[in-house]
Amino acid sequence: MIPSPFARVPLALRSARARLCNDSAKEFKYETVPYWNSPRLVGMTTPAVRASHGSRIPEAVHRRRWAILGVLMLSLLIVVLDNSILNVAIKTISTPAPTGLGATQSQIEWAINAYTLVFAGLLFTAGLIGDRLGRKKVLLGGLVVFGIGSALAAESGTPGELITFRALMALGAAFVMPATLAVLMNVFEREEQPKAIGIWAGGVGLAIAIGPITGGALLDHFWWGSVFLINVPIVIIALALMVWLVPDSRDPKPGRLDPIGVVLSVVGLVLLVYGIIKGGELADFTDPTVLATIVAGLVVLAAFVVFEKRSDHPSLDVTYFKNKVFSAAMAAIALVFFALMGVTFFSVFYTQSVRGYSPFQSGLLMLPLAAAQMIFAPRARLLVDRFGNKATTTAGLLLIAATLAAFAGFEADTPIWVLEVVFFLMGTGMAHIMTPTSVVIMQALPREKAGSASALSNTFRQVGGALGIAVLGSVLSTSYRTGIEGNLGQLPAGLRDTAGESIEATLGIAEKLGPRGDALVGSANDAFLHAMHITALCGTGVALIGALVVALFLPGKPPTPQEGKREQELVVAAE
């Protein structure tokens, strides 16, 4: 009998080889399904790159994976750009017609939150539909709806119409965001996923940079609606490139849709956010209507959690949160966006209303924040490799807390370079939070559930941002109204309530008063700065809570598996 070539291979190595062979066999289990939705790839005979989690990447797709990532980032760009481009337009939209829409601060908050709430509420379902129908199809459909909503928002005649069309834009965006990350996870091997996700996260920084600068330039030359109309040509370019380059993929065993869960989540979030915003508008959170709305929202959200826990096809699988690492990563994302979206909201009024910068100049001031994200997001994985997820993410959140605390010391004459340094440090902190937490979340679930994982991550990001704008915006509104009320006695009774809504409302009335309104301008600036300081300290507290959570629950630096690598090398050599 001819001896087996593996007869002298130690038992441990033979066991390792058997495990590897078994893993390889498991990786073929989805090949009977046309996972890559292309007829020429079914029954594929060309070489393929083996990927983790049970699928094989066709060689043709693997070769163009970086071009595909570029197209995905362009699609991501317009979704994120829409929020960042709106930031510099907040002041313009709040001015009376014909320059703006005369929107109050609460209406501006709703123009932002209508987008984030619809976006967050539909992400679960959008991810499941992408898993079922194919990610490329929902990407194309989502981009078309987003483009139509952008064109309609540009022609809005009232704040109500703007809020409605922003919600339509969010409907399209909800199908774009999770599909981009799901496709990314399916065209890159596991070893390259952290690098690809880092570049993907850097795209967020690029959008933050382009958004305010583009928006400011448009507002200097065109009407406010141009900040939405600019999305249309980007959508057209993204659609053409996507049809050409991006492959389709789907989950061979997709979950069932959960319409009841979607309705409960959206209704609960809308009630909660409405109550918070209304409380800030009235400067009274003890108002019966405010309390009843907030409590109703919490009750509906509690019912949502109970329903999802008992459902056999939940849109939000609450069992994922039994994993402390997964839960801590989700909490970090939610809390950092809670703080960031809140500070971005009031920083626009600080730079434009108090400091007197134009929208374009205000956009340029945000450049350091975006530059830091673009520089550090793709490289954050290097710090994670050296120090681990816990140390990297905790340091990032502590840095965010420090930058928010710095806003509590800003005055009307603070050197502008100090603001620029703070923005750069804020972007650095974000880059070292988003990349490691995104990798933890995306790799915690099987590859074929990438759409659901992306949806879950982005839902918590959007909900955190929406609550940040609602809560910190309401703190700002309440503090401002309290600070300015004592200086409104000279105004007619009918104007006092309007003047107390926001600094823009006060400055608008002061301008109509002529020289008599000069004293009111100074009072408005003082009241806003005091309100901004209080709001910034609230955001600091939130960031510190996030740092504590990740320090307790995220894993530290994993040991280097040198022994396992040597074992696999010996097995390969024996083969």
Task: Express each pLDDT in 269-291 by its tens digit.
Answer: 778 877 877 777 676 778 888 88
Per-residue pLDDT, 384: 81
Per-residue pLDDT, 13: 36
Per-residue pLDDT, 205: 59
Name, in order, each residue with C-beta under 8 angstroms of 183's C-beta and a sequence gap of 6 or more. Answer: 68, 72, 135, 136, 139, 246, 247, 249
> What is the dihedral sign for C-alpha 484, 486, 491, 493?
positive
The backbone region for 42, taken as left when phi is positive above 0, alpha when psi lies in -120 to 50, beta otherwise, is beta
Domain borders along the chain are: 30-63, 64-257+315-484+528-553, 258-314
Per-residue pLDDT, 315: 67
Per-residue pLDDT, 33: 30
* Dihedrals phi, psi of 430, to nearest 5 degrees: -60, -40
Per-residue pLDDT, 147: 92
Per-residue pLDDT, 448: 59
Q: Which superfamily, per CATH, for 64-257+315-484+528-553?
A: MFS general substrate transporter like domains (1.20.1250.20)
- Nearest-Å Rg of the Cα atoms of the chain is 26
Measured between alpha carbons, how far is 334 from 433 in angstroms, rounded to an integer?
Answer: 11
Could you tell me where the beta strands, DSSP code E, fall in 168-243? none
Per-residue pLDDT, 537: 92
Q: Tell me the three state secondary structure of residue 55.
A: strand
Q: What is the largest CA-CA distance in the chain?
A: 108
Q: Cα 387 vs. chain centroid, distance in angstroms?
A: 25
- pLDDT tens profile 322-369: 777 778 888 888 888 888 777 777 788 888 888 888 878 887 888 888
The H or E element spanning position 51 is: strand 48-51
Per-residue pLDDT, 10: 40
Q: Cα 190 vs. chain centroid, distance in angstroms?
A: 23
Segments of the chain scoring below 50 in pLDDT = 1-55, 563-564, 567-568, 570-575
Q: What is the pTM assigned to this prediction?
A: 0.70
Name, in order, each residue with C-beta under 8 angstroms of 326's C-beta and a sequence gap of 6 or more. Answer: 320, 440, 441, 444
Amino acid 440 reads: V
Our CA angle for 116, 341, 553, nearest 5°, is 95
Name, in order, each residue with C-beta under 8 angstroms of 59's C-beta and a sequence gap of 6 or more. Answer: 46, 47, 48, 49
